A = this chain, B = another copy of it.
């Protein structure tokens, strides 16, 4: 159904997750998942990190990175509340997949080859919730990010 004029400009821009330690999470989402850091906004008590996959096939200028932050879909925003990374009493964040706190489920990345992607994740020490060989759904996997959030790994094969 074509959209009404009232919602014609709307985009699903980003998903926000809180993270304990931005050094660990940025290394994970950049080096292992392959996203690019577009923007970093530091406030008194927290810092926001905006990441996305670069589909342009070229390096973006700092201005383009900043501009693209609200101009596209598929952005991941990580919120770091300062101090959690070194607070011995910090209990960690809920993944959303067990009580109490059930609600949010996961983010998902599509890949050309789930098996190949997962072999690489395994070599890089990524934790698995479900390997492709586990359970009934052999064509998908679930990995865990450093805070325990689930990331589904799905094939992007359904193309016309």
Give the interface SS of chain A, mostly helix, strand, loop or mixed. Answer: loop
Question: In the complex, A93 Cα to B95 Cα: how many Å?
Answer: 13
> Of residues A77, A100, A113, A156, which shows the largest number of chain B Cβ atoms within 10 Å of its Cβ?
A156
Chain A interface size range: 35 or more
Q: Which 9 A-B pairs have the closest CB atoms?
A: A101-B101, A7-B34, A73-B74, A104-B104, A93-B103, A16-B105, A9-B112, A12-B74, A100-B100
Complex interface: chain B residues within 8 A of A104 (CB): 16-18, 94, 96, 103-104, 149
Complex interface: chain B residues within 8 A of A86 (CB): none
Question: A144 CB to closest chain B CB, in angstroms?
Answer: 13
Q: Are A110 and B3 in contact (CB under 8 A)?
A: no
Question: A104 CB to closest chain B CB, in angstroms?
Answer: 3
A111 close to chain B: CB less than 8 A: yes
Q: Are A9 and B74 in contact (CB under 8 A)?
A: no
Complex interface: chain B residues within 8 A of A44 (CB): none
Would you mind naming 15 contact pairs between A and B with Cβ atoms under 8 Å apart? A7-B34, A10-B34, A12-B35, A13-B108, A14-B108, A15-B106, A16-B107, A17-B103, A63-B160, A67-B158, A71-B159, A74-B74, A101-B101, A103-B149, A104-B149
A76 close to chain B: CB less than 8 A: yes
A40 close to chain B: CB less than 8 A: no
